[in-house]
Every structure is written in structure tokens, then in C-alpha cells.
Amino acid sequence: MNARASDHALLAGLDPNKPLPRKSIYRSLKGRQRIWSLYQKSIQGLAFPIRHKIVPTTYGQTFLSIAGNPEAPPIFVLPGMSIAGPMMLEFFAELQRTHLLIAPDLIGQPGHSEDRPFSNKKGAYGRWAFEVLDQLGMDKVGIASASFGGSIALEMTHMAPERVGKQALVVPAGLTPRLPYLKLYAGLAANWLTYRWWPFHDETTISHDWLKRIARPLSRSLTQDNLDYFDAIIRYTEFWRHRPAGPFSAHHFNQDVTPAFAIFAEKDFVFPHAPTLANAQKSLPMAEMEILAESAHMPSDQDMQPLHQRISAYFDGTI
């Protein structure tokens, strides 16, 4: 069986109609079907080919989306909360020109990895990530991460800095000394649950205007596809389960840490800018750093376009 046929068989073997496991991330079969259809749409929207692989870990099976040249230096692409591998490949598309990108779906979050709750205790995310790399026969990789994935990258850096090369941290979790949970629950979760349960809200209708309003603390520039996915996550998943690794501070990292390229959003509702930046500057050596003035937690495509070129140059060693 050639690689393309094998890849097709792998995707075809994913059955959205099989019974949900106990404590599934999905609230219903309908929810899983909806999110998997959006997952497939994200694959079809990519401007470059990708392939897939499933690897076993002690935490559960992990589904990988892979792009770029197999002979090129590898970059492990770690996703934001509830964001699947193909969406992360789209975000870091510039890097697939010169690197091999490996983007996992996180266990216990929407996607095709094992559907079971995942704890952030006892270094679990870092241990899981290194098990994935071991299955791929990779001793050392660069890392490109966003938001939630940043905390996993930092946990890996804390646990085994000799296995982590250069890393790009885009609005990373894991560096905020104390997350503003009360504000997050009041400003995000309460609005999201209202959207889910509002009695006059037709379940089959997606209210993009309403979604834009409740997503505004996160982003001011969501596309229609983004809003469709946001709608599905709010309606059909137990989104409040997830907790990032960390927080991390200077005593978690030794002097062998490779200088990072970190990007912070000045108007970040999730990871407040001032304490996050102050801790980052004390904790990590920086090869490059960018502060996005007026940007919310999820930067716009316009904000990121020049930065993707700089991230690529950072990994290529030209800056």
C-alpha cells in the first residue's frame, strides 16, 4: 500500500458514529460528527499536502498531521486549546516550506487522538510529548506553539532542554504567574454557556453576530470558518476541562535553554500582558520578542503576516 492509500485508509477508519467513550470530550454523537466534519474541511482548505500517522503512548493514541519535507529539520507544532493539528499547520504554513512539521491533536481535546480526560499533573503533557517524539525516532526538535501549546513546550523545556531546539511561542500559556480564573469564568465561560443554552436560540442556526460579540475578548478578526468552529466547540464539547501546564518561572529552566522567539499580545484577556511579559523576561533567554500592540489573545492574520516571515527566519538561522 503506498503512502497516499495508507493515509486515506487511516482517515476512512475514523468512525464518527461509534459510541462515545465514558467522559468523552464531546457532549453527543452529533457534536463529534459536526466537529469532525469541520476538521475534514480544514484539511481540504490547506494549500499544501499533509499526511497522517497514529502513534501509541501510555496516555493514549495520538493522531498526527504532518507536512513538509521528510528530510528537512523537524518542528513539533503544539496547538492552542481545542485546536486540532491541521489548523495549526495552516497557522504555521510558512514553516512547511523549509521544515518537516508534526502537529498532534491533543489527547482529550477535539480531534482524532484518544478521547479521554487528560490531567496536567506530574508533568503529564511533557511526558506525553516526549513519548510521541520517541515513537517518531526524534531525539531533538524545534517547537512552534500557540497559546495552550506554549505551556506544553515550556514543560518540555523544563524536563529535557537537551531535546528542545529553537522554539516560537505565540501568546503562550504557562508564563502567567496566576491565571485570572474569575475574570475568565465571568467574561468567557458564562457568555459561552448562555450562548449554548439560550432558549430562543435555534440549535441549527449559527449566530455569527452573537459569536463575534462573545469572542471579542479573544479575537477581533475571526473568519466565518473560525466562527463555525467556535460555535461547535461551545455547543458540543466540555471545553472547561482543559488546564495548561505550569506556570513556569526562572527556577524551572537551566542555562542550556535555547533562546526563544516569543510573541505577546498587549490586550490579552487570557494571559494578562504585564505579569506574563515580566515573568517571561526573567525566565527565558530571548532571541527575538514581539509585543503586538492593541492585539487580543488571538492575533489577526494581518498582525501575524510579517511575524511568520520572522519566525521562519529565526528557525532558518538567518536572524
Residue 123's pLDDT is what? 96
> Phi, psi at residue 234, to the nearest 5°?
-65, -45
pLDDT, one tens digit per residue, over 92-143 is 999 999 999 999 999 999 999 999 999 999 999 999 999 999 999 999 999 9
Which residue type, as a one-letter code, is found at position 191?
N
Does this model's pTM top 0.85? My answer is yes
Residue 204's pLDDT is what? 65
pLDDT above 60 (res 6) = no
Residue 2's pLDDT is what? 44
Residue 169's pLDDT is what? 98
Residue 1's pLDDT is what? 39
pLDDT, one tens digit per residue, over 283-311 is 999 999 999 998 999 999 899 999 999 99
Residue 296's pLDDT is what? 93
Distance (Å, whole) CA 38 – CA 15: 15
Averaged pLDDT for residues 255-277:
95
pLDDT, one tens digit per residue, over 34-52 is 999 999 999 999 999 999 9
The helix-helix angle for 190-197 and 208-215 (nearest 10°) equals 160
pLDDT above 80 (res 228) = yes
Residue 179's pLDDT is what? 87
Distance (Å, whole) CA 172 – CA 145: 7
Residue 144's pLDDT is what? 98
Q: Which three three-digit cell numbers place residue 161?
A: 532542554
Which residue type, as a one-letter code, is found at position 51?
R
Among 139, 163, 136, 157, which residue's Cα sits nearest to residue 57?
A: 136
Distance (Å, whole) CA 319 – CA 123: 33
Q: Which three three-digit cell numbers place residue 190?
A: 458564562
Averaged pLDDT for residues 76-85:
97
pLDDT above 90 (res 199) = no
Distance (Å, whole) CA 247 – CA 181: 14
Sign of the CA dihedral with 194 first, then 232, 174, and 273 last: negative
**Domains of the chain by start residue, with CATH:** 3-179+240-316 (3.40.50.1820)
What is the residue-averaged pLDDT of the chain? 92
Q: Which three three-digit cell numbers place residue 236?
A: 458540543
Give the pLDDT band (50/70/90) at residue 319.
low
**Which stretch of DSSP H or E encloses residue 226?**
helix 224-236
Residue 209's pLDDT is what? 86
Sign of the CA dihedral with 283 first, then 288, 293, and 298 last: negative
pLDDT above 70 (res 78) = yes
CA triple 97-100-106, angle to 5 deg: 120
